[in-house]
Amino acid sequence: MTGEPRARLLIEGRTCWRLRRADRAAVLIDGEEYFSALDAALERAQRSVRILAWDVHGGIRLRRSEQEGAEGDAAPTLIERLDGLVRHRRDLRIWLLEWDFALLYALERQFFPTLRFGYSTHRRLHFRLDGEHPIGASHHEKLVVIDDRIAFCGGFDLAACRWDTRAHRAGDSRRHDPGAPDYGAFHDVMLLVDGDAARTLGELARERWRRATGQRLDERRGETDPWPRDVSPRFRNVEVGISRTRPGGEDEEPVREVEALHIASLRAARRWIYVENQYLTAHRIGKVLAERLAEAEGPELVIVSTRTCEGWLEENTMGVLRARWLARLRDADHHGRLRVLHPVVPDLDPDRLTVHAKLTIVDDRLLRIGSANLANRSMGLDSECDLAIEAGTGDTETARAIAAVRDDLLAEHLGTTPERVAEALRTNGSLVAAVDALRGGTRTLATLEASVDPWIDELVPDEAIFDPEKPMPPEEFWKLLPDAPEPERLRRALPWIGAVVASAALAAAWRWTPVSEWAARETLVLALVVDRARKLLDEPGFGAALALLGMAAAAGIAWWIVRRRRRAARPREG
C-alpha cells in the first residue's frame, strides 16, 4: 500500500495550518496514561506551561492509587500541583485559558474558577476565561504546551470525570472526583509531540491568549527535555499536520482545515476507515461516508462510539441527529462494509462508558487525533485543533506505527491483544471480518442500535439549531423552527421545550446581564461559604443545586446593595 504513488493529504493552507517535524510522537490512551505522563512532564517544566481547555477543574488529581485513603489521597490536586510548581521555580510561568462557558454547563463545572485560580494562587499562575467567540460557539481545543518543547493535544480536558484505566473496570474506586464520587468509565486519546510541531502549537496557544486578553506573550523554551521518561514514542522523525477550525468574525475569515482534512482523507481511503468519536452528526462528513459505502469497491468503515448520549436533553437532541446520520449510512451500505459499535465491559452498564475520543485512522496511511467531534459545530463553529501524521509513499515504518495504534485500540475494546487483532486482519483481509471474528467475549464491541421515538424525531428540528456549522444571527433562528405539533405531541414535548428555553434564558442572562459579574465579584464571601457547604454534603446533586441557589441569592443581594448605593449617591432634590 505504501509503495504506490499517491497525492499527499496534509497540505498547508488547505487541509492543515502548519506541517511541522516531530522527532518523537506518542499516543496516550485513556486517562491513566495521559494524566501520569502530563504530571511527569510538569515535574520537568522549566520556563512555561500553556494550557488551552474547554473545561478545567482544580480539584482533580493527576495520579491515583489503588490504596484510596492513603497514597491516593496524598496526591496533590491539579490546582495545588500547578501552584506548587510556580512557587518553587522562579523562572516558571503558567498560563491557563479556559472557555468562558455558558451557564448551561454550570452544574457540570467547578464554581468560580477565576476566584480559585486567579486569586488564591501565585501571581505567576495566570488564569483567564476566554469569551472571544460568536454567540453559541465554544473554545473546544484541549492543548498543553510545556517549555515550547513538547505538546499534548487531543480529546482530554483537565476536568472532572475523565480519569480512567484502559481496563474501564466496573466499580473502580479511583473513578471519583469532587462532586462525582462514582462516575462512569471514560475512554479518550491524546497525542504527545516534540520538536517544531510542539513549538508551533506553542505559537497557537500564545495567539489564543492574545485574542482573549490583549496580552502578547513571548516564546519561553526550556533548556532541558521535558519529555516524560516513562513514555515510549510510537513515531520517530515524522511530519505532523496541525488542522484548525475557527468560526471567523468581522476581521477574519473562517478556517475549516479540520473538515477539509476529513473529506480529503475519507475520499482517499482504499481499504478501511476506523473511527472513534463521541458525536456523529456532521452532514458533509456523513455524505462522503455514504458515498464511499455505496461504491462497489469502496473502503470498509468501523465506527466506535458511545451507546447513548449523556443526559435526557442531549439524547433527545444530538442523539436524534446521530440516529438520522447513522440511518443514512446504513441505507447506503449496500455491500455490508459498515459496523457501528459500542464497547461492552463485564459488569459495567454500557450506558456508563463514554467514548470521548476524536480519532480517525485511514488505511495504514493517516492517523489523526484532536479535539474535533464529527459534528457540524466542530467543522465550522467552535475552535478546534487536530493533529495528523501521514505515512508517505514508501514510508513503511510510519505505516506500521499507524496500524499498530489501530490494533491497540481495537484490542482494548475487544478484550484481546494487538497481536491477535493484527493476525485476524492478515487472516481475513478485512477489518470488518476481523472485528466480527474477535467479537463475542465478555469484553467486546456490540452493535450500536441508534433509534428514536417517531414523535421526538418529528419534533426535533434540523441540525442547524442544535448542531450549527457556522455562527447564526439571532433573527435566523426562528426561521428554522418546525411547524407547531399536534396538541398531544405538544403536551408530551413541553418538558423538552421547557428545558431548552430555560437553559437558553439562563445562558442569555449570564452572558448579557451583570449577573455573572455580580456573582463573581460582589459576592466572594458568600460564594466561598456556599462552596464550603457544598463540600460537606454527601449528595452531589443536592449540593450543586444548593450552590447554584446560593449563587443566585448572592447575585440578588449584590444587586440590592448596588442599587441602594446608587440611590444614596444621587443628589437629593429640593
| Shared domain check, 344 and 222 | no
| Shared domain check, 261 and 223 | no
> Could you tell me the pTM of the whole model?
0.83
Neighbours of 246 (CB within 10 A): 21
| Shared domain check, 315 and 189 | no
| Shared domain check, 208 and 65 | yes
Collapse the DSSP code of 354 into the 3-class scheme (helix H, G, I; strand E, B; otherwise coil) and give the result: strand
- Considering the domain boundaries, does residue 347 fall inside one? yes
- Considering the domain boundaries, does residue 335 fall inside one? yes
pLDDT at position 450, please?
79
| Shared domain check, 248 and 126 | no
| Shared domain check, 144 and 59 | yes
Nearest to 389 by CA among 361, 358, 431, 356: 361
Q: Locate cell 435526557: which residue? A: 312
Residue 154, beta-bridge partner list? 190
Q: Show the cell assigned to 87.
A: 512557587
Instruction: Please count the helices (runs of H) and the strands (runs of E) in the chain.
Output: 20, 18
**Number of domain units in the chain:** 2
Check: CB of residue 104 under 8 Å from CB of residue 511: no
Q: Show the cell assigned to 389.
A: 501524521
**Nearest 5°: CA angle at 201, between 195 and 204?**
150
| Shared domain check, 165 and 311 | no
The CATH number covering residue 336 comes to 3.30.870.10
- Considering the domain boundaries, does residue 143 fall inside one? yes
pLDDT at position 179, please?
86
pLDDT at position 464, please?
57
- Positive or negative torsion for Cα 209, 215, 219, 223: negative
- Considering the domain boundaries, does residue 328 fall inside one? yes
pLDDT at position 126, please?
94
Give me the domain span that covers residue 377.
236-447
Check: CB of residue 542 under 8 Å from CB of residue 506: no
pLDDT at position 570, please?
45
Check: CB of residue 372 under 8 Å from CB of residue 358: yes
pLDDT at position 254, please?
95
Q: Which long-range contacts (CB under 8 A, 24 or more apart) does 12-17 make?
A: 14/257, 14/260, 14/264, 15/241, 15/243, 15/257, 15/260, 15/261, 15/264, 15/265, 16/241, 16/242, 16/243, 16/257, 16/261, 16/388, 17/204, 17/242, 17/243, 17/244, 17/255, 17/257
Q: Final residue of a domain: which of 422, 447, 472?
A: 447
Residue 153, CA atoms < 13 Å, CB-side half-sphere: 31
| Shared domain check, 172 and 266 | no
| Shared domain check, 272 and 207 | no
| Shared domain check, 241 and 148 | no
Residue 304, beta-bridge partner list? 276, 341
pLDDT at position 572, please?
41
- Considering the domain boundaries, does residue 457 fall inside one? no
pLDDT at position 531, please?
41
| Shared domain check, 25 and 156 | yes
Residue 297 phi, psi dihedral angles, 5° rounding: -120, 30
Q: Final residue of a domain: which of 229, 263, 293?
A: 229
pLDDT at position 490, please?
56
| Shared domain check, 105 and 30 | yes
Exposed e or buried b per residue across 536-571, where buried means at least 16 C-beta atoms within 10 angstroms of its C-beta:
eeeebeebbeebbebbeebbeebeeeeeeeeeeeee
- Considering the domain boundaries, does residue 178 fall inside one? yes
**566 sits in which H/E element:** helix 540-569
Per-residue tens of pLDDT for the chain, all 574 residues: 555 678 999 999 999 999 999 999 999 999 999 999 999 999 999 999 999 999 999 999 999 987 654 344 568 999 999 999 999 999 999 999 999 865 444 445 555 565 566 667 889 999 999 988 888 899 999 999 999 999 999 999 999 999 999 999 999 999 999 989 999 999 999 999 999 999 999 999 999 999 999 999 999 999 999 999 999 999 999 999 999 999 998 778 999 999 999 999 999 999 999 999 999 999 999 999 999 999 999 999 999 999 988 766 677 778 888 999 999 999 999 999 999 999 999 999 999 999 999 999 999 999 999 999 999 999 999 999 999 999 999 999 999 999 999 999 999 999 999 999 999 999 999 999 999 999 999 999 999 997 777 766 676 766 656 788 888 766 565 555 555 555 655 555 556 556 555 655 555 554 455 554 444 443 334 433 444 444 444 344 444 454 455 555 555 555 455 445 444 444 443 3
The DSSP call for residue 103 is G
Q: Final residue of a domain: which of 447, 472, 502?
A: 447
Cα(29)–Cα(23) distance, integer angstroms:
20
**319 sits in which H/E element:** helix 318-332
- Considering the domain boundaries, does residue 399 fall inside one? yes
- Considering the domain boundaries, does residue 408 fall inside one? yes
